[in-house]
Amino acid sequence: MSIQDQLPEQLRKRLAEDPLFGAKADLLHDGRFGEQWLAITEHEVSVWQQDHTQLLKLKISELKDARAVGAVGGGTLLADTGKGPVVLARYTSAQSSIFGFAAKLLGAMAKKEERPVVSERDFPRYCQNCGNPLSEGTQICQICTRNGKVAARMLRYTKPYKLQLAATAVLLIATTLVELVPPYLTKVLIDDVLGPKDVGSTLMLVILGLGATMLLMSVMQTIRGLIGVWVGSKLMGDLRKDVYSSLMRLSLAFFDRRQTSQFIGRVNSDSEAMRQFMTDGVVFMSAEMLRVVAIFIIMFGLDWQLTLYAILPVPVMVAVSMTIWPKIGRRWYHQWRSIFRLNTLVGDSLQGIRVVKAFGRERDEMARYNEANVELVRRNIRMEGLWSFMFPAFAFIAGLGTLLIWYNGGNKVLSGEIQLGVLMALISYLGMLFGPLQWISQMISWASNAMAAAHRVFEIMDTPSEVPDVRNPEPIGVIKGDVAFDSVTYGYEKHHPVLKNVSLHVKAGEMVGLVGHSGAGKSTFINLICRFYDTDEGAILIDGTDLRSISQVDLRKQIGVVLQETFLFDGTIAENIAYSKPDATPLEIMRAAKIANAHDFIVRLPDGYDTRVGERGHKLSGGEKQRVAIARAIIHDPRILILDEATASVDTETERQIQEAISRLVKGRTTFAIAHRLSTLRNADRLVVLERGKIVEVGTHEQLLEKEDGVYRKLVDAQKELSKIKGVEG
């Protein structure tokens, strides 16, 4: 796609030169929706209104700079001129990227710098077919591809169980047919035995027949039930596995934007809803369908005229079902959302239970829960209430049909047109017929619930990872550990960059300390090295290879991280240390712990290395957890080591111990360390000072201290001040 393409022909003709850039803004200058055109040529910037009248023209030579100022929901492209800033265009956030590029281009032209190269990411992308926006990192339009084939996709899960399901189907057909025998036998009983008072052996035979069918039915139902349970559980397992693995596959950015406790519910209840539909739902539905057809055939055979009366209520039922279908879907969704809110609430307050207790907010939490709970109760009542209405309503409509048959059939029996047994059989069949019809409403409920669940589940599965692996990743083997940042710009929300144009080359084995105020972008810097996120601009190279062309598994093998918030999994200390190397020998585990200065305290624990940590079990202190985490990084034996405020939450003595551990650990590895206590970084070969996402100073501790007005020096001075007050730390 070329950028000039964006400009209409008529406007292009009016330009004195070929445009370098053209774009349509989706807001007017006063902020209303509308269209305006912006064109940049070698010497001018022009803006036209929707009716192609010129609104603005500036000479590039008048410009000093240009900026894209982001706002909530949109932004403004500003040009700085000698006479103050001028608004060039306003736009909604859909167009932030393209005008961000315009600002860069104009800025570079004004300052006579090298012009930025347009990249595909600068353009909002739309589907070629339907014109709807495409999501990040994908070429596939959701609207065009996923055209409602959710059900088919869901049923694909039953594929591995074809045989079992086929068996169920056969049994089903058999049971259905056998079920139809007793009413017929009843007819025989009434008309041929009881009616004519035949005292022969027929009575016994008919009774035996009835008994045999009953037994056969029970056996077949049991077998069918067992197969159903088996297939159902398997299916459920498959679904859960798929949802969970799609969750694991997703990038951090996905979880940043969402509350994680919601997924617990999704993995379990959504797959349950889908399973219910697939096994009970589909099996039931086919069984009932079959039964309906069979019953009608027999009934027609018995007396076709009377049967017609039985069919009368059916269209009514179908019509009712059709009208309430959307309503049910909606109510399911409401109910789901209430449950979802409730789960989130519980997840949240339990995760923060310490804070809740510390501030004595239990009552308020209970009140909050109660409110959500009441809401769910209300939704439940509405949902279930609909059923309590539906079932009787269906039964009543069905009953009307029965009445019709009683009346007309009764007359026919009285006038001797048919025998009593036939009427009785018809009535029995009719009773069996309305069973399935009532099931229709249950089916509707299952199906709509399952569809909604499937949508949510497939949404997770279809979300592309924002840090995709390339198709043919470069084999890197064991790396040396050179790390280079090449004009890297990154923002968690695009167009609000947190790191701006950062370039840095770190040689293998070097230890770099990152310092700066909180929020300067230090953690972001290392997140990028781990490739938790991809850069917006520029590239990160490891041993000269772009991070993006290395497979993430290979990459993470080479990187070890110790973060401020240490997370230990539920398990023993040994398991936690061996997390990245499950086959580690006990000796290796102890060695790693020894290097991390953790061995001594672990052995002193009553359960030693088998002490359970994590959610339940033994709680370690902050410093102890930290050292376990360091041991975990050591056993990983990474070429690149990342320490993000690994010693922030410990006392000076523990810090010294950790410090010691770290200095042993960093030998021969490329290390990035972030620490609030600047003294922690005294071993660093170089210090990199970040301020508001930019590198402002680089050098050794001594070099940076020499800078009179340096940022680093100020930080050091401020900390000296602080430690004087506290009277600790020499």
Partner 1 sequence: MAAADDKYDIRMFAPDDVYFSRGSGGVFQGVIDGTTYDELEVYRAFPFLYTTQYISVRNTKGEELGIIPDIAELYEESAKELEKELQLRYFIPRVTRVDSVKQKSGLWMWELQTHLGSTRMVMRNLHEHLQYPGGGRVILMDISGKRCEIADWQALDAHSRKQLEEVL
Residues contributing to the site for Mg ion (CB under 5 A): 523
Residue 625, classified by CB atoms within 10 Å of its CB into exposed (0-12), middle (13-18) or buried (19+), is buried
Q: In this structure, what token pair is assigned to residue 611?
A: 């002490």
Shorter beta-carbon distance to partner 1: residue 330 or 682 = 330
Shortest reach from residue 463's CB to ligand ADP, in Å: 17
Q: How many residues does the chain have?
A: 730
Residue (376 or 681) nearer to ligand ADP, CB: 681
Q: Kindly state the smallest distance separating residue 516's Cβ from ligand ADP, in Å.
A: 6
Shorter beta-carbon distance to ligand ADP: residue 300 or 492: 492
- Return d(Cα 131, Cα 128) in angstroms, integer: 6
What count of other Cβ atoms lies within 10 Å of the Cβ of residue 147? 8
State yes or no: residue 124 binds partner 1 (CB under 8 A): yes
402: number of Cβ within 10 Å: 19
Residue 270 beta carbon to partner 1: minimum distance, rounded to whole angstroms = 13
Choose the binding region for partner 1 from 76-84, 219-227, 442-450, 501-509 (rule: CB under 8 A).
Answer: 76-84
Q: In Å, what is the CA distance from 183 to each residue of 433, 600, 682?
A: 12, 81, 93
Tokens of 112: 């006579």
Contacted by 42, from Mg ion, partner 1, ligand ADP, none: CB < 5 to 8 Å by type: none
- Closest CB 230 distance from partner 1, rounded Å: 32
682 near partner 1, judged by CB under 8 A: no
* Residue among 4, 42, 54, 133 that touches partner 1 (CB under 8 A): 133
Distance CA 653, CA 662 (A): 14
Nearer to ligand ADP, 19 or 521 (CB): 521
Closer to partner 1 by Cβ: residue 103 or 432: 103
Check binding of 304 to partner 1 (CB under 8 A). Answer: no
Count the Cβ atoms, other than its own, within 10 Å of residue 379. Answer: 19
Binding of partner 1 by 29 (CB under 8 A): yes
Output DSSP code: residue 268: I
Q: Give SS3 for 514.
A: strand
Using the structure block, give the residue that is written with the tokens 């109760």. 377
φ and ψ of 644, to 5 deg: -105, 100
Contacts within 8 Å (CB) and 24+ apart, 145-152: 146/458, 146/462, 150/451, 150/454, 150/455, 150/458, 151/451, 151/454
Query: Is residue 496 near partner 1 by the rule CB under 8 A?
Result: no
Nearest to 526 by CA among 550, 562, 551: 562
What is the footprint of partner 1 within residues 35-74 (CB under 8 A)?
Answer: 69, 71-74
Residue 405, classed as helix, strand or coil, is helix
Q: Please identify, using beta-carbon distances, which residue of 156 and 258 lies nearer to partner 1.
A: 258
Q: Binds 378, which of Mg ion, ligand ADP, partner 1, none (CB < 5 to 8 A, cut-off by type)?
A: none
Residue 170 sits in the site that holds partner 1 (CB under 8 A):
no
Q: Tell me if 87 contacts partner 1 by CB under 8 A.
A: yes
Of 349 and 564, nearer to ligand ADP (C-beta) is 564
Size of the site for partner 1 (CB under 8 A): 47
- DSSP assignment of 578-640 equals GGG-TT--HHHHHHHHHHTT-HHHHHHSTTGGG-EESSSSPPPPHHHHHHHHHHHHHHH--SE
Q: Sheet of 19-27: strands edge to edge?
A: 54-59, 44-48, 33-41, 19-27, 84-92, 74-81
Quick one: what does residue 31 bind among partner 1, ligand ADP, Mg ion, none, with the CB cut-off 5 to 8 Å set by partner type?
partner 1
Q: Which does 148 bind (CB under 5 to 8 A by kind): ligand ADP, Mg ion, partner 1, none?
A: partner 1
Decide: 558 and 564 in contact? Cβ < 8 Å.
no
| Tokens matching residue 345 | 């609430």
Which of 113, 140, 143, 607 touches partner 1 by CB under 8 A? Answer: 143
323 to 342: interface string for partner 1, x by CB under 8 A: ---x---x--x---x--x--
The partner in contact with residue 660, picked from Mg ion, ligand ADP, partner 1, none with C-beta cut-offs of 5 to 8 angstroms by kind, is none
Q: How far is the CB of 252 from partner 1 (least distance, A)?
A: 17
CA distance 17 to 36: 20
Q: Least Å distance between CB 514 and ligand ADP?
A: 8
Least distance from C-beta 522 to Mg ion, angstroms?
5
| Closer residue to Mg ion (CB): 523 or 552 | 523
Q: Which of 108, 118, 123, 135 binds partner 1 (CB under 8 A)?
A: 135
| C-beta of 135 vs 286, nearer to partner 1 | 135
Who contacts 256 (Cβ-Cβ below 8 Å, separation ≥6)?
A: 492
Least Å from the CB of residue 86 to partner 1: 3
What's the closest the beta carbon of residue 121 comes to ligand ADP, in angstroms?
19
Which residues lie near ligand ADP (CB under 6 A)?
256, 492, 498, 516, 518-524
CA distance 597 to 609: 14
498 versus 555: smaller Cβ distance to ligand ADP? 498
Minimum Å gap between C-beta 524 and Mg ion is: 8
Residue 524 near which of ligand ADP, Mg ion, partner 1, none (CB within 5-8 Å, type-dependent) = ligand ADP
Write down the least CB distance from residue 75 to partner 1, Å. 8
Asked if residue 469 lies in contact with residue 485, where contact means CB atoms within 8 angstroms, the answer is no
For 142-196, the DSSP string reads HHHH-SSTHHHHHHGGGGGGHHHHHHHHHHHHHHHHHHTHHHHHHHHIIIIIITT
Among 76, 307, 564, 670, binds partner 1 (CB under 8 A): 76
What is the residue whose two structure tokens read 């598994």? Answer: 553
Q: Which does residue 133 touch among partner 1, ligand ADP, Mg ion, none (CB within 5 to 8 A, set by kind)? A: partner 1
Which position has the token pair 């399935």? 436
Q: Which residues bind partner 1 (CB under 8 A)?
A: 27, 29, 31-34, 69, 71-74, 76, 78-79, 81, 83-87, 90, 92-94, 96, 124, 132-133, 135, 142-143, 145-148, 150, 258, 326, 330, 333, 337, 340, 455-456, 458-459, 493
